[in-house]
Structure 1
Amino acid sequence: MFTIDAHLDLSMNALEWNRDLRQPIDAIRDREIGLTDKPDRARGTVSFPELRRGKVGLVVATQIGRYVAPDNPLPGWHSPEQAWAQTQGQRIWYETMVEDGEMTPIRNLDELENHIVLWSDDTPVDEKPIGYILSLEGADSIVTPAYVERAYEYGLRAIGPAHYGPGRYAQGTDATGFMGPAGHELLKEMERFNIILDATHLCDDSFWEALDHFNGSVWASHNLCRALVNHNRQFSDDQIKALIERGAVIGGALDAWMMVPNWVRGQSTPEGMNCNLAVMIDHLDHICQIAGNADHIGIGSDLDGAFGKEQSPYDLETIADLQKIPDLLSQRGYSDEDIRNVMHGNWLRFLRTAWA
């Protein structure tokens, strides 16, 4: 089944992890044997061939560049300008993949509809480019809100104002506090250019402030439920209700620590914690019970977000195994229409409305 994944960090993997994503996944893993600089070396799950094998023909693909103040222990850049330059290198990588025929940008409704037609015909998937909608995870690299216009012109279509920790425009995971005037100005510029607000990673204070000050389209590209795993990275039921009221779609993530409680990074294992793909269905089903329907859930796997098989569901070898999700949904009693909506239809409906 044609699948949309609303969150992949492809350019980060290409430039910071030094992965040639055009290669077979086994070749990428083999080249990393013995490396220890990243936690997921030799255990990656994402490559272009695996995306095509899993019929993941459209992704929301990120740029990311965090600014860190002198007292911020997180990894990142020491000035917004450096962070901006990092995201521009990532942008150029995407554009190079377009020139190579591997990817194609999706920036408006016409490009979206043409891409869906392409992936609906009978030609082999290995001849089809993977469509990507460009998103910015954490807005620290936006040097000033005026840079939003530049970013829109090169194709940026979604922004998550925060990532981990304190940010220049909003506060993120494990932080607290509000957006303030700079964040409000960012939201105004996003609204002016019809850029989607990604509510993922916003701390509670900034989440509610963002929804109060932003009148455009809102989604949550990769998130799960606090009711099942009690952490500030997750959405509370009240936040889920607010997103549903805004017409949002929430993408289910496949990072094990978000899926099961009491995960200990570097110690827990997917098998030991009984973390499989069905656990994500538990989270998606929780959202559906709040909504009263299956119209607000999708996939936002984050499978290349600085983790690999060591922190993924044990029944997932590569991203192609997203194709196991339809059967799991069917086993829970979801209809064929609901299943199509989870795999792609809800994201398509959202984009068609946002870009109409």
Structure 2
Amino acid sequence: MTPPLLIDGHLDLAYNAGEGRDLSGSVEALRAADPIAGQRATVTFPELRRSGLRVCLGTLFAMPRTPASPQGYTDAAGARAQALSQLDQYRRWQDAGEIVLLRDRAEVAAHVARPDAPLGVVLLMEGADPLRTPDDLAQWVEWGVRIVGPAWGATRYAGGTDAPGPLTPAGRELVAAMRDLGVTLDASHLDDAAFWDAADLGPRMIASHSNARSLVPGNRHLTDDMACAIAEADGVIGLVYLSRFLRAVPDSVRVPLDALAEHARHYADIVGWDRVALGTDMDGGFGAEKTPLGIETYVDVPAVLDLLPEDARAGVAGGNWARWLTTHL
């Protein structure tokens, strides 16, 4: 039986490379020499190929300065430098034949029809602080960015995770520019006030990696009304493979894989199976030590499909992202 098309809505590939991880070899080799302590890596290019992953939304993620990340950015120039370095990394991977950068719907359609092609990557800017002003957006679009999430925590543009607040005046200007340029807004990480401010401005919307607040409290997750707003904008919602985003458990607890399926079923009950997809965020600040039980490397990602209705599996695996990408990118 031919496995379903697999597409992931959220992978921090270049950020991990910037942290010193070599993604060119096996997971075992990476784990043996991992520069990131305390995380059991799951993602390398060979592992992604073994899983059958064909396309992902690959992030440009600039890390702000925090107590845990003292080398992070403190201003727009620092955020921009990080994002430019990551953009260069994706270009070098493309030159090496590891990936293909995809810029529009026709390129995505052609790419998914080639099962022997390298991993296709659509660029997503996670947190908009690399944009010095909204006027920078057009340049990043020229460089290939097609999706922007205005927030991570709080940014100069929006309230975000654990940082309540609306769109700032610059944020409203940015979202309007995104709408006018056809750039999609990633609602993941937006605080409620910022989410509804953005929705009122009418951009294309997705949630690349967001679970259901009805099942886990906190403003990192989507309310049912938010999920409905994304669906009404013809968007898709990707599911995150982090245990504490699936159930309200301590970081040290790994939940059963059915907890992930429960979020999928919840979204399907609200907006339909055609809006539910994968946004694993694997190795996005956590490794196998915090994934659901049974997810030890990226090749295990499709295991959740066996817990879903048979007629929904292909869509969740990648068909729903493929439909969205070939319609809206």
Q: Normalising by structure 1, what TM-score?
A: 0.88
Structure 2 Cα separation of the partners of residues 236 and 113 of structure 1: 32
Which amino acid is 2:24 matched to? R
Q: Which residue of the partner structure matches residue 306 of structure 2?
A: 327
Alignment equivalent of 1:97, drawn from 68, 89, 93? 93
Q: Which residue of the partner structure matches residue 122 of structure 1?
A: none
Q: Which residue of the partner structure matches residue 79 of structure 2?
A: 83
Deviations 1:13-36 (A, max 9, x none): 0012x111111000000112xx6x
- 1:106-185 paired onto structure 2 within 5 Å: 106-119=102-115, 125=116, 128-164=117-153, 166-185=154-173
- 1:242-261 paired onto structure 2 within 5 Å: 242-261=229-248
Deviation at 1:66, TM superposition (A): 4.2
Deviations 1:81-116 (A, max 9, x none): 111011000000000000000000111122111101
CA contact (8 A) 2:64 2:74 kept: yes
Which amino acid is 1:247 matched to? D
CA contact (8 A) 1:66 1:140 kept: no
Structure 1 residues 145 and 38: alpha-carbon distance in aligned structure 2, compared to 1, 3 A threshold: farther
CA contact (8 A) 1:67 1:80 kept: no
Alignment equivalent of 2:281, drawn from 289, 295, 302? 302
Work out whether 1:14 is the aligned partner of 2:14. no
Which amino acid is 2:277 matched to? G
CA contact (8 A) 1:66 1:141 kept: no
Work out whether 1:26 is the aligned partner of 2:1. no
- 1:208-287 paired onto structure 2 within 5 Å: 208-213=196-201, 215-261=202-248, 263-265=249-251, 268-270=252-254, 275-287=255-267
RMSD: 1.5
Structure 1 residues 29 and 73: alpha-carbon distance in aligned structure 2, compared to 1, 3 A threshold: closer
DSSP-derived class of the 1:4 partner = strand
Work out whether 1:57 is the aligned partner of 2:54. yes
Larger Rg: 1
CA contact (8 A) 2:106 2:326 kept: no
CA contact (8 A) 2:105 2:328 kept: no
Q: 4+ residue runs of structure 1 moved beyond 3 angstroms? A: 72-75
CA contact (8 A) 2:240 2:280 kept: yes
Structure 1 Cα separation of the partners of residues 174 and 52 of structure 2: 35
CA contact (8 A) 1:39 1:306 kept: no
Q: Which residue of the partner structure matches residue 189 of structure 2?
A: 201
Structure 1 residues 110 and 244: alpha-carbon distance in aligned structure 2, compared to 1, 3 A threshold: closer
Structure 1 residues 345-354 or 203-212, which shifts more?
345-354
DSSP-derived class of the 2:25 partner = coil
Deviation at 1:74, TM superposition (A): 7.0
CA contact (8 A) 2:211 2:222 kept: yes
